Amino acid sequence: MNDDPQEHISGSPRDLPSVDEVLRTPEAAASAAEFGLDRITELVRSVLDGARAEIIEKPPSPGLRSAGRPAVLDAVMARFNDALRKLRRDRSGRVINATGVAIHTNLGRAPLSAEAVEAISAASGYTPLEFDLETGRRGPRGSGAELLISDLTGAEAALVVNNCAAAAFLVLSELAAGGEVVISRGELVEIGGDFRVPDVLAASGAVLREVGTTNRTKLADYERTIGDRTALVLRVHPSNYRIVGFTAAPSDAELAGLAHAKGLSYYVDAGSGALVDLSHLGLDSEPVVPRLISDGADLVTFSGDKLLGGPQAGIVTGRRVLIDRLRKNPLYRVLRTSKTVYAALEATLSNFARGTAFSEIPVLRMLSMTEEELSRRANAFAKMLSTEPAIAGQLRIGVVPGASAVGGGSAPGVPLATLLVALSGDRVSADELAARLRDRETPVIARIAEGRVVLDLRTVFEDEVGELFEAVRSAISRDSKGAAMKQMP
Ligand SMILES: *Cc1c(COP(=O)(O)O)cnc(C)c1O
C-alpha cells in the first residue's frame, strides 16, 4: 500500500474513485463519526480535486499503462489519511512546549495547576456563582476568588474581569472618561501587539497628558501637569521592555502621595503583577501587588495568566469605594468572566494562601527550577535518546547551555540559565525536524538555535517526557524508512 502522500498519482481521471466510494471506506466512515459527515465529505472532495488536478497535470507517459483503479484508490486514501491527520492535529488540543518560554502567549500563556483543572471540572455543572448559601438568596458573583485576592494583596476589595486589558479599560472608563490622565512618557508602551496604552486611554474617553521624557520623569513633572482637568494619575508597568542607563522615575509611594494631596486617585496597571516577591528568581523588576497597595495605590490591575500562573483573567484590586463603582458600571456586565475562570482562579490563589505556590503552580515551579534539576532532566533525556539506536544512528545529540524566558511580556532581558538538548542530523535540516515535531496529534513546539533543534525541558512536564521521546523517534523514523526502502532491491 502506498502510504507516502508525496508520491505522484499515476493514472487516468477515469480511475479516480467517487466521493461515495471514499466515504464508504472504514477510515472515512470512522472519521465522519468524529468530525461530522459534512466536514469529511468536504475533505474527500478536496482530496479528489487535488488528485484529479495532479493526474491531469502529469499524465502517465505515453505507452505506459495507467496504474489502475486499486493503485489510484490507494494513493487517494494516503492523501485522505494525511489530511485527516492534519485535521486532528489542528483541532485545539494540547501541545508540548519545549521552547523554555514559561508564559508563552502563543501557546496559551500559563498552564494551569492540577488543582485548577479539577476546579474547572467541578464548576462545569451548577455552582453557587451568584448565590448566597447562607441566606438562600442571590449573592455577589465570584466572591470566593475576590476575597482571596483582597487577603493576598492587603487591599480592601477586588473585582475579576475577562483580562487585564478589560480591567484597565473599565478603570479608565469609570474614573477618567472626560478628564485627563497624567502618565509618564516612558510608559506609553505597546504590550503584545494590540494593547497600546494611548489607544486604550483614547477608547475609554480619557485624554492623555504625558509628563517628563522617555528616560527621565520627576515628581515635579507630574506636579506641574496636574490641574483642574486631571482625573487620575496613572502608572503603567512597561512590561515588555526596559529603559536602562540614565533613567529616573518617582517611587510609587511618592506618586500616590502626590495624587492624594491633589485629591486624586493613583492607579497602577501592573501587567504581570506578581502576588509575591520574585526577586529570588532574578525577577526583581516585576511589580509586587501587595507592595503597590501598601505604597498607597488606590487601584492595581494585573493579568490572571501571567506570573500569577492562573486562567485568563483581569484582576482589579484596591479601595472598596472604587471597586464598588466599577462593579456598578454597565461595562462590567460586558467584561465579566465565567464560573470556570473563577473556579480556576480561586484554586490558583489558594496555593498562594497555603504557601504552596512555588511547588504547585506550573509557571512558578518552572521559573524556580534549579540548574541542578535542569541539568539532571536535560542529561537524562539526552541519554534516553542516545540509547535508542534508531535515533542515535541519525542524530547528533548534545546538552548545551542556553537561556529560557519568562515570556508573556514579563521580565524582558532577565536571563534564566538553562540546559538544552540539541539535535542535528545530516539527513534532516533543523527546520524540517522542527516541522516534523509539530506535525503530530500532540504537536511538540521546539526552538531552533545555530542550525540545531533545541529542546528546553524546563517547560516540558515530567509526564510528557515519554511523548517527547516518541515524537523525536517518529520524526527520525520517516528518514530511516526511506533509507531502508531505497536499499531494497
Ligand atoms: C499584559 C499586559 C496587559 C494586558 O493583559 P491581558 O491580560 O493580556 O489583557 C495590560 N497591561 C500591562 C502592563 C501588561 O503587561
Per-residue model confidence as pLDDT tens digits over 227-277 = 999 999 999 998 766 777 778 889 999 999 999 999 999 999 999 889 999
- The three cell numbers of residue 340 are 470556570
Per-residue pLDDT reduced to its tens digit, 174-183: 999 999 999 9
For residue 435, the CA-to-ligand 1 centroid distance in Å is 31
Q: Are 349 and 310 in contact (CB under 8 A)?
A: yes
For residue 282, the CA-to-ligand 1 centroid distance in Å is 21
For residue 165, the CA-to-ligand 1 centroid distance in Å is 6
CB proximity list for 14: less than 8 A, separation 6 or greater: none
Give SS3 for 193: coil
Region 10-38 average pLDDT: 92
Res 10: pLDDT:
77
Q: Which of 172, 184, 191 gets mutated to test ligand 1 (max ligand atoms within 8 A of its CB)?
A: 191
In angstroms, how far is CA 341 from the centroid of its own chain? 16
Q: Choose among 180, 169, 249, 266: nearest CA to 214.
A: 249
- pLDDT above 90 as % of the chain: 76
For residue 303, the CA-to-ligand 1 centroid distance in Å is 6
Q: Which of 269, 286, 337, 363 gets mutated to test ligand 1 (max ligand atoms within 8 A of its CB)?
A: 269
- Ligand 1, atom 14: closest residue by C-alpha: 271
- Ligand 1, atom 6: closest residue by C-alpha: 164
Region 460-489 average pLDDT: 75
In angstroms, how far is CA 295 from the centroid of its own chain? 31
For residue 167, the CA-to-ligand 1 centroid distance in Å is 9
- Ligand 1, atom 5: closest residue by C-alpha: 164
CA atoms within 13 A on the CB side of 160: 28
pLDDT beyond 50 at 484:
no
Region 466-485 average pLDDT: 77
Region 92-118 average pLDDT: 95
d(C-alpha 267, C-alpha 318), whole Å: 9
Res 66: pLDDT:
64
What would the DSSP string read from start to end of 215-271?
SB--HHHHHHH--TTEEEEEEE--TT----SS-B---HHHHHHHHHHTT-EEEEEEE
The pLDDT confidence band at residue 482, using thresholds 50, 70 and 90, is: very low
Q: Provide the residue count of the chain.
A: 489
The pLDDT confidence band at residue 1, using thresholds 50, 70 and 90, is: very low
Q: Are 252 and 295 in contact (CB under 8 A)?
A: yes
Q: DSSP class of residue 285?
A: T
For residue 414, the CA-to-ligand 1 centroid distance in Å is 19
- pLDDT above 70 as % of the chain: 93
Closest-lying ligand 1 atom to the alpha carbon of residue 269: 13
- Ligand 1, atom 3: closest residue by C-alpha: 271
Q: Are 365 and 409 in contact (CB under 8 A)?
A: no
For residue 161, the CA-to-ligand 1 centroid distance in Å is 13
- C-alpha to C-alpha distances, 442 to 125, 158, 445, nearest whole angstrom: 28, 38, 10
- The three cell numbers of residue 94 are 494540547
Give SS3 for 151: helix
d(C-alpha 308, C-alpha 107), whole Å: 16
The pLDDT confidence band at residue 215, using thresholds 50, 70 and 90, is: confident
Region 278-286 average pLDDT: 88
d(C-alpha 80, C-alpha 83), whole Å: 5
Res 225: pLDDT:
95
The pLDDT confidence band at residue 4, using thresholds 50, 70 and 90, is: low
The pLDDT confidence band at residue 190, using thresholds 50, 70 and 90, is: confident
Per-residue pLDDT reduced to its tens digit, 50-88: 999 988 887 766 666 667 888 899 999 999 999 998 898
For residue 54, the CA-to-ligand 1 centroid distance in Å is 49
Per-residue pLDDT reduced to its tens digit, 385-432: 999 999 999 999 999 999 999 887 777 677 799 999 999 999 999 999
CB proximity list for 424: less than 8 A, separation 6 or greater: 395, 396, 430, 451, 452, 453
The pLDDT confidence band at residue 483, using thresholds 50, 70 and 90, is: very low
d(C-alpha 304, C-alpha 320), whole Å: 20
Res 65: pLDDT:
62
d(C-alpha 382, C-alpha 420), whole Å: 9
Which residues have C-beta atoms less than 6 Å from ligand 1?
163-165, 168, 191-192, 195, 236-237, 239, 269, 271-272, 303, 314, 409
Give SS3 for 175: helix
Res 466: pLDDT:
97
d(C-alpha 50, C-alpha 451), whole Å: 34
Minimum mean pLDDT range among 4-8, 45-49, 218-222, 387-391: 4-8
Q: In what order do the strands lie in the sheet with 314-318?
A: 157-161, 314-318, 299-303, 265-271, 230-236, 180-184, 207-211
Res 189: pLDDT:
79
Per-residue pLDDT reduced to its tens digit, 300-313: 999 999 999 999 99
Closest-lying ligand 1 atom to the alpha carbon of residue 236: 13
The pLDDT confidence band at residue 2, using thresholds 50, 70 and 90, is: very low
Q: Choose among 27, 21, 35, 34: nearest CA to 3.
A: 27
Q: Who wins on pLDDT, 192 or 317?
A: 317
d(C-alpha 313, C-alpha 149), whole Å: 13
